[in-house]
A = this chain, B = another copy of it.
Amino acid sequence: MDLTTAEENYLKAIYHLSDGGKKSVSTNDIAAEMNTKAASVSDMLRKLGEKEVIEYRKYYGLQITETGKRHALQTIRKHRLWEVFLVEKLNFAWDEVHEVAEQLEHIHSTLLIQRLDSYLNYPKFDPHGDPIPDEFGDVRSRPRVQLNEMDIDQTGQIVAVKDSSAAFLRYLDKVGAYIGARIKVLDKVEFDGSLEILVDQKKTLFMSKDVAGNILVLQS
């Protein structure tokens, strides 16, 4: 059962909106996400139901089937692998890759994706810090570490803070180390455990071990 590009895009949107099949999704939600109208969505839901990637009962709602999840995760896997390729090999900025990856994710070739994965050295995360499902659709649990525990040259994305006092958040905002920022450890001072950090491939900043200990990073 092959899916068209449009069907793959709808399925991916449904997967994301439902948080992997956990939450329920409305026709209007999907229409908003896909920039289409509710009528088009109803049409598509019928087709996706016939192809058995969702279970669809009109007016009641839908549920992704196991087959559907596999398909969606496969598309997400391709999208994120291409993003890694674009950033690491073709020097795209991490915010330039989405549109192109949206096209590349619909190329059909199992061999291509296997080889690309190998060529990129089996990356576990894309340039935005999102995990890349393996070829069986399994997603690796996201290892959050304290920034002060990272080694030189390791990279990641700031995903949370331990101390969320206003003062601390103000400080982070001021230095540009917001939630979501991608960071790289440039240097570590052994003496006091302070760090030199590259933020978003642009700014470098120094922080004490105490500050770094309050920042949780998703390693990539």
Contact = CB atoms under 8 A, between A and B. Distances in A.
A109 B104 CA distance: 11
Contact of A91 (B103, B104, B178): B178
Interface stretch (A51-59, A62-70, A112-120, A187-195): A112-120
Q: How large is the interface on A (under 10, 10 to 19, 20 to 34, 35 or more residues)?
A: 20 to 34
A153 interface: no
A119 B91 CA distance: 9
A198 B220 CA distance: 28
Contacts of A91: 115, 178, 180-181, 200
Main secondary structure on chain A at its contact with chain B? Answer: loop
Given A109-B99, A202-B202, A90 B104 contact: no
Contact of A93 (B86, B178, B201): B201
Contacts of A115: 90-92
Please state the number of chain copies in the assembly. 2
A193 B119 CA distance: 39
A96 B115 CA distance: 13
A178 B91 CA distance: 10
A11 B141 CA distance: 42
Nearest to A100: B109
Interface in A112-152: 112, 115-116, 119
Nearest to A180: B91
A8 to B, nearest CB: 14
Interface in A65-117: 86, 89-93, 96, 99-100, 103-104, 107-109, 111-112, 115-116
A90 B119 contact: yes
A182 to B, nearest CB: 9
19 contacts: A86-B112, A90-B112, A90-B116, A90-B119, A91-B115, A91-B180, A91-B181, A93-B200, A93-B202, A96-B111, A100-B107, A100-B112, A103-B107, A103-B108, A103-B109, A104-B104, A104-B107, A201-B202, A202-B203
